[in-house]
A and B are shown apart, each in its own frame.
Chain A
Amino acid sequence: MEALRVNNLYKNFGGVQAAHNISFSVAAGERLAIIGPNGAGKTTLFNLLNGQLSPSAGQVLFFGKDITHKTVFQRTHLGLARSFQITNLFLELTVLKNVLLALHGVERSRFQVFRPITFYDQHLDKAKDLLDLIDLWNKKDDRVQSISYGEQRKLEIALCLASKPKLILMDEPSNGLTNVESAEIACRIRDLGREVTVILVAHDMDLVFEVAERILVLHNGRIIAQGMPEEIQSDPRVREIYMGSNDMIVECLN
């Protein structure tokens, strides 16, 4: 079963082709990593997939359903979740409220205007499970602003999981973390069940090789290579791109 299929996707910003004839598919349960040097169009591709940008041309199918013209929140209801490269949370609200908002977002109860949010025991239980998973339950009443950066990154992933996703788009989940923290994130991603498909964008090659089963290489808005991690490692075109830039990845690929 295909979780996601992208057909001939184009996105132009003025004269810049941020996505040029991109086609690929992801099987349900698969872990796909998208890599490429800075400015390759990875985040743009994510924005096209989750509906923040609409493509200039092309088609996006989600479990066989055409979602090219669906809004961001409609895609979330279908089961497409996304985490962000730069921490994108509700800084003034408490940790618990952040998770509760994510839990209610995909249920009818999000329109409930009269029942206090603390009366939903089921949701509180689920929030506890999620926060226990990332060891943040003891900080549930703290404002997100006051928890550490690493904790915010983990909360970011918890919010994704709270919207009951079938497919998660993870944009640089280990961005700015220490090696230890980044390894922990990798563990969390590997621990996810196979009912969840993961597409990962990362510069952190340790994370990519730890998690990914297949890698897709983007350069200047085009897919230049895709295949198993070992194939990508030895692909001359990929090496050339990274050699041409000063990217850290050069070392990792060697």
Chain B
Amino acid sequence: MSVNYGETNILHRRQWILRIVPCSAVAIILLVLPAFLPFYLQNIMSKVIIFALFAMSLDIVMGYTGLISLGHAAFFGVGGYAAAILIKKCGITSFWIICPLAILITAASAAILGIIALRVSGIYFLLVTLALSLLLQNIANKWYSMTRGTDGILGIPSPDLGLSSLFSWSSTGLYYFILVIFVICSFLIFRIVNSPFGNALQGIRENEHRMEVLGYNTWLYKYLALIIGGSFAGVAGILFAHYNGIIAPFHLGITTSTLAMLMCIIGGLGTVWGPIIGSFIIILVEYFSSILVPERWPLVLGAVFVISVMTLRGGIAQQLLRLREKLFYGSIKG
């Protein structure tokens, strides 16, 4: 016998509870965490959150749409550079002007690079995105008058919200500021990936050709996914520029791209919160291993990556989802 509508609604409601409980638990932990942490760990947590946003933006492109990009840091870097240049060269200080402008610049660059990169697919897409990000890195290296070359742009101040007379930035304040932006962005991303548009992206990942037959202009969807993913990466870049105080050419390059890619893979592709877990693990492992074994921390990071790929197929998020299914759905479905 088929399940009737009433039961389905209960199922849906339970699903919502199952979603909201872990979300609010994480939110509460993130809210009260700074009270228990020394300031340098607060800074590390800020970095975790910034990279979580960056990895989530890559996940839209890679995990949901299935476009494997090795150039995603280009948008991270463009966002950061745009903010830095607007502050240092154009003398604009207000965050409320810098942020939308820098996002627009990132979105525009994603729109231009997307047209070039989406002419090819598969492994060629990976190579073209890599080449484009290296191109941007080179521009940042050589255009000394604008980007200060290999030194990068130094001394980027904390965001000016127009409240500077009221309070000055502490690491706790910066943490909360980044957290607020992060929560807004992750809510937006959550809505996007669950919308008809977001589901269409997943359909394209699974079977692009069938999506065309169902009436979707798949090229346009991939293009929009790149622009949306790029824009969120830009937001992460802006936050990073403020947080770090320095933005340098390598932030546009492959090391930064692969870092985000590792976060997505370890955390779990195609889930909203997988990249958050990935970012948490990678940044913390990076931080502690650089303290404990300063010369060999990449080795530790590499080991973590290999082990998690071998033991956690589909990333930590998928493993947790499977566990949840076993715990909660086994009884309902049976």
Chain A residues at the B interface, C-beta cutoff of 8 Å: 50, 52, 71-73, 76-77, 81-82, 84, 88-93, 97, 100-102, 104-106, 109-118, 120, 128, 132, 135, 137-138, 141, 159, 163
**B residues less than 8 Å from A138 (CB atoms):** 1-3
A105 to B210, CA, bound (A): 11
B34 touches A (CB below 8 Å): no
A100 to B194, CA, bound (A): 12
Known: A77-B215, A93-B206, A106-B215. A101 touches B200 (CB 8 A): yes
CB-based contact B196/A109 at 8 Å = yes
CB-based contact B195/A113 at 8 Å = yes
**B residues less than 8 Å from A76 (CB atoms):** 212-215
The smallest C-beta distance from B64 to any residue of chain A, in angstroms, reads 12
B217 touches A (CB below 8 Å): yes
Q: Which of B1, B12, B191, B211 is packed against the most chain A CB atoms within 10 Å?
A: B211
B5's nearest neighbour on chain A, judged by CB, is: A128
CB-based contact A116/B216 at 8 Å = no
CB-based contact A88/B214 at 8 Å = no
A90 to B66, CA, bound (A): 13
- The 9 lowest CB-CB distance pairs between A and B, nearest first, are A105-B215, A76-B215, A105-B214, A90-B206, A138-B2, A116-B194, A72-B212, A113-B197, A104-B196
Can you list 7 A-B contacts (CB < 8 A)? Answer: A82-B213, A88-B213, A100-B196, A111-B196, A116-B195, A138-B2, A163-B214
B205's nearest neighbour on chain A, judged by CB, is: A92
CB-based contact B195/A105 at 8 Å = no
CB-based contact B202/A93 at 8 Å = yes
B168 touches A (CB below 8 Å): no
**A residues less than 8 Å from B211 (CB atoms):** 101, 105
A88 to B216, CA, bound (A): 15
A117 to B203, CA, bound (A): 13
B1's nearest neighbour on chain A, judged by CB, is: A138
**A residues less than 8 Å from B2 (CB atoms):** 132, 135, 137-138
B121 touches A (CB below 8 Å): no
